[in-house]
Amino acid sequence: MSSNNERTFIAIKPDGVQRGLISKILGRFEDRGYKLIGIKLVTPTENLLKQHYAEHVNKPFFPGMLSYMMSGPILATVWEGKDVVKQGRNILGATNPLNSAPGTIRGDFAIDMGRNVCHGSDSVESAEREINLWFKKEEIIDWKLASLSWIYE
């Protein structure tokens, strides 16, 4: 059973920021009932991205992905709520937008895998690692959601 305090890292990539999709994407998570506890607009360094995508550093597509991820600002966010890692991935849709269902962020706003608008943590462990990479402890705000009793039993 998942805790209401599970956290995930969701990043709106440069294409999503440049296309003006920030409010639409944030709204999907808020509409679902998840609580935003960390948010900042950042231009990531090469070092940060190499740590974030450590498993891809030696893959042939990495230089292009690195260049793209450094091409503009990224909106880094942390969300909290029950089963938010898995449900966050469902809200985003499949990594390849052509395999994403309509109604998901990628299904509605993306076509090409190289411009898939968002990143979402794929496990509780990777969420913790990514949150710690992108945010200082004091940048995560612990607050009570007023509508909590209307979202959870």
Q: Is 89 annotated as a binding residue?
A: yes
Q: Is 106 annotated as a binding residue?
A: yes
Residue 106: enclosing H or E segment and its boundaries?
helix 105-109
Contact by Cβ (8 Å): 73, 86: no
Q: Is 28 annotated as a binding residue?
A: no
Q: Can you tell me the distance from the alpha carbon of 133 to that of 142, in angstroms, rounded to the nearest whole number? A: 18
Strand-pairing partners, residue 127, are none
The one catalytic residue among 7, 28, 35, 119:
119
Q: Can you tell me the distance from the alpha carbon of 103 to that of 92, in angstroms, rounded to the nearest whole number? A: 9
**119 is known as an active-site residue:** yes
Tokens at 48, concatenated? 């940060």
Instruction: Output the CA angle 118-124-128, nearest 5 degrees.
Output: 80
Q: Is 7 annotated as a binding residue?
A: no
Q: Can you tell me the distance from the alpha carbon of 141 to that of 37, in angstroms, rounded to the nearest whole number? A: 5
User: Quick one: CA dihedral 112, 48, 23, 102, positive or negative?
Assistant: positive
Q: Which residues are annotated as a binding site for ATP?
A: 13, 61, 89, 95, 106, 116
Q: Which residues are annotated as a binding site?
A: 13, 61, 89, 95, 106, 116
Active-site residue list:
119
